[in-house]
Structure 1
Amino acid sequence: MDLFSSLPNELLYHILSFLSTKEAALTSVLSKRWRNLFAFVPYLEFDDSVFLHPEERKREKEGILQSFMDFVDRVLDLHGDSLIKTFSLKCKTGVDSDHVDRWICNVLARGVSDLDLFIDFRDLYSLPHEVGVSRTLVVLRVGSESDLYWWQKFLCLPMLKTLVLDSCWLCIGQFQILLLACPALEELDMTNTRWKDSNVTVSSSILKELTIDLHGCCSVVNLKSLSFDAPSLVYFYYCDSLAEDYPQVNLKNLVEAQINLLLTQAQIEQVRALNNEMLVADDVFPGLGNAWKLITGLRNVQQLYLSPDTLEVL
């Protein structure tokens, strides 16, 4: 008898949890006991790029895409009604969206607490509405190389503590709804997230970490005002075009802040001309004179990092 044969299933599940689901499935050939053991690991990870084309990243034969979808279906079927703690799904163009919806709803119904989705379809894709009303999600990551609607109508995520959005849409008024609908939210990370509001307020008494990184993202609108009322925030990363105004900045407990204001060449030239007294105030791009409001609101920060463009405008 080998060492693994004497171990209880629970310990084997833990060992298999360090592997991707595809890698764990390969252990099914070891013996009869291992045949379906991988399917009971509560941590599932599916990546179509690894499954379909691990080396050349191209499909080499017909039917392999269907085999990926069948594999995911089989694993979820073998799980039955067992609890799933973590579900990671990375899909690109070619996987049927109905399958994706069904998989997501399946794990949500079984109490998944950590959901990691990277979905990239040719057409604009909207996640099933069940994602926005989960009462078990603690961590939610949603990403895409194109634009994606991550919630449609109603939103209520009472247990959510960490939210990561990459290349997602936020329609008018949705950002305020998001903060109200996630009363336990402690970490918010928005990368290349497009919002349509021209006036945005980040208001939360419990938010601890905030990342706004819109570098390389073409905004739908230029922000007229951006306010921060987050007295519990300890980490703040802000990389975006300069808003016209920062009427309120209440970040009194910050430990670390990184500020990278993205200026156009025209704005930089205006700032330098203003410093040389070649421009009058009315000629200055709106917001250049208000950047100080953002910085002075970080009055108690222990570590402050400012980009060269940010220093230009101060």
Structure 2
Amino acid sequence: MDRNIDMISNLPSSLLIIIAGFLSFKEAARTSVLSKQWLNIWRDAMHIQFNENFFVKSDEPEENQKVQREVFINFARQFIANYPPQDIKTLGLTCSKPGDFLADMQNIVMFASSRNVRELGLDFSDPTWREHALENHQAAFELPLLVYEHGQALKSMKLFSCSFDVSNFSNFCALKTLSLGWIKINMGSILAILESCPLLESLSLKKCWDIVSFEISKPGSRLKSLVIEECDIADDFVLIEGPKLQFFKFSGNVGEFLLDDQSDLVKAELDFETETAFDEIGLFLCDLLEDLFAAQVLTVCSVFLQIVPSGNEPLGLQAQIDVRYLILKTALHINEFCGIRFMLRSCPHLEILTIDIGPANIFPEYGAPYPFNPQEFWSEDLLVEECVTTTLKAVNVKGFKGMMNELNVLKYLLLFGHAIEELTLYVSNEAGSNGETREFYMERALQVLEFNKASRNLSIAVL
């Protein structure tokens, strides 16, 4: 048989449409250049993404962007006009300046609803809005009435800078995933949504405001995933009572957290990099950790590492947690040393440790919870954590540059890590402040191969 024969293109169009359905909308469109048979296959795609970022270049002048946005809108108009009479599964619409094209935005959304769309994503937020500033921006678009009328088919919905009528959410009886962002919403509306959507399993809130305190007390709720990201919560108070979460993510300021009976929790992510205070909030983080006791995978940030030891137990939690995979987003600054040790002592069953090195919010007024010498902190004279000697099997270092603190931490882990089987160093691609290159970092990584090792089964990879 001739190996140059294109067997796929010889398939009937009905099968090619199914194959294209496994591709992203952009990738499916690219198949049009393969052959005449593929020319229009992508136009029958049931996963549609109208994303202005494919057309509008953010680094070009505003006048050029206006022309590019017009091309984007014309593309969407023609696609809808020529789409076959069939249902669609997914429609995503991203447009940062919809004001001049509101009629087109309405038509696109109404097209999706009339075709019984299962997953609807509308993002009208502007990338020029500051990600880490709590600024309120008026919603750029209002959800059309037709979406509610056809809402029984929706299983997933994303609304960014898109206002809506909470009283009509009862029509979304099949909704399982909801993501809201860049909108004004109070706690009463959030609770009304949970009441109206009994099948809701995942709720995500990003850059929302007008929330005094976040309180969900709903026994029997199916909610399994909760994300609260950079929301303006006036009282810095979060209460979760009733839902049995499997995933919890919070980013914002440190406050009081009460997460009642989260024994089903699998994964948690905590990011407090926008926090500006330091004193008297360590106890809040210790209490939060204890509420997250069941989490198997835990991600914490640099601010967390600097603050958490200032709680009642600076050397570790009294009630140890069951984390098996710990991810530290850190600069490996001396301000974080006590927090890293705190976490290692609080996770006696830890099996995988990832040290993700990058920029961090380092507090200039930091005060250590106990005196220590930074040069000797990771020396062999210190008490070694239980997880390091008995359970830790894999260590990953991302953004490795071979700085002194990085090397000292690795010396410590390898010297006492009797059970470690894998060490993987992902060398940084960033240029150093003194002109260091990736090749320079690679040379430092090779030094790690010469460190004393407690484990006989250790494999080291440098990538």
Q: Same fold (TM over 0.5)?
A: yes
Return 5+ residue gaps in structure 2 as ranges. Answer: 127-136, 313-463
CA distance 1:52–1:297, shift in 2 (3 Å): closer
CA distance 1:2–1:129, shift in 2 (3 Å): same
- Deviation sequence 1:16-37 (CA, Å, 0-9, x none): 3315358627727943x55543
The 5-angstrom pairing of residues 219-234 of structure 1 reads 219=232, 221-223=234-236, 225-234=237-246
What is the RMSD of the two structures over their aligned residues, measured on CA atoms? 3.5
Q: Does 1:211 align with 2:227?
A: yes
Q: Which amino acid in structure 1 is aligned with residue 76 of structure 2?
A: V
Shift of 1:174: 0.8
Task: Tell whether the 8 Å contact from 2:254 to 2:275 is kept in structure 1 after alignment.
Answer: no
- Deviation sequence 1:251-275 (CA, Å, 0-9, x none): 1221233344578544x2345xxxx
- Hey, what's the Cα distance between the residues in 2 that align with 1:295 and 1:194? 26
- Hey, what's the Cα distance between the residues in 1 that align with 2:275 and 2:74? 49
Q: SS of 2:124's equivalent?
A: strand
- Hey, what's the Cα distance between the residues in 2 that align with 1:173 and 1:114? 25
| Equivalent position to 1:298, from 292, 300, 305 | 292
Counterpart in the other structure of 2:386: none
State percent identity of aligned pairs: 20
Counterpart in the other structure of 1:198: 213
Q: Which amino acid in structure 2 is aligned with residue 104 of structure 1?
A: V
- Hey, what's the Cα distance between the residues in 2 that align with 1:253 and 1:9? 46
Task: Tell whether the 8 Å contact from 1:138 to 1:161 is kept in structure 2 after alignment.
Answer: yes
- Deviation sequence 1:21-61 (CA, Å, 0-9, x none): 58627727943x55543321211111123124498486649
Q: Does 1:136 align with 2:153?
A: yes
Task: Tell whether the 8 Å contact from 1:43 to 1:87 is kept in structure 2 after alignment.
Answer: yes
Q: TM-score, normalised by structure 1?
A: 0.75
Counterpart in the other structure of 2:202: 187
- Hey, what's the Cα distance between the residues in 2 that align with 1:264 and 1:64? 39
Stretch moving more, 292-301 or 130-139: 292-301
- Deviation sequence 1:159-189 (CA, Å, 0-9, x none): 1222223323323511101211221122222
Task: Tell whether the 8 Å contact from 2:32 to 2:38 is kept in structure 1 after alignment.
Answer: yes
Stretch moving more, 153-162 or 33-42: 33-42
Stretch moving more, 47-56 or 66-75: 47-56
- Hey, what's the Cα distance between the residues in 2 that align with 1:265 and 1:66? 42
Stretch moving more, 192-201 or 105-114: 192-201
Higher relative contact order (CA 8 A, sep 6+): 1
CA distance 1:163–1:77, shift in 2 (3 Å): same
Whose Rg is larger? 2
Q: SS of 1:69's equivalent?
A: helix
- Hey, what's the Cα distance between the residues in 1 that align with 2:65 and 2:298? 53
Q: Which amino acid in structure 1 is aligned with residue 125 of structure 2?
A: D
Q: Does 1:110 align with 2:115?
A: yes
Q: TM-score, normalised by structure 2?
A: 0.53
| Equivalent position to 1:173, from 188, 192, 195 | 188
Counterpart in the other structure of 1:312: 310
Shift of 1:294: 3.9
Shift of 1:302: 3.9
Counterpart in the other structure of 1:269: 279
Counterpart in the other structure of 1:255: 266
Counterpart in the other structure of 1:124: 139
Shift of 1:110: 0.9
Task: Tell whether the 8 Å contact from 1:251 to 1:297 is kept in structure 2 after alignment.
Answer: yes
Q: SS of 2:95's equivalent?
A: strand
Aligned positions, number: 288
Which structure's residues are more often strand, by fraction? 1
| Equivalent position to 1:236, from 226, 231, 248 | 248
CA distance 1:197–1:136, shift in 2 (3 Å): farther
Stretch moving more, 229-238 or 61-70: 61-70
CA distance 1:262–1:56, shift in 2 (3 Å): closer
CA distance 1:313–1:57, shift in 2 (3 Å): farther
Task: Tell whether the 8 Å contact from 1:129 to 1:151 is kept in structure 2 after alignment.
Answer: no
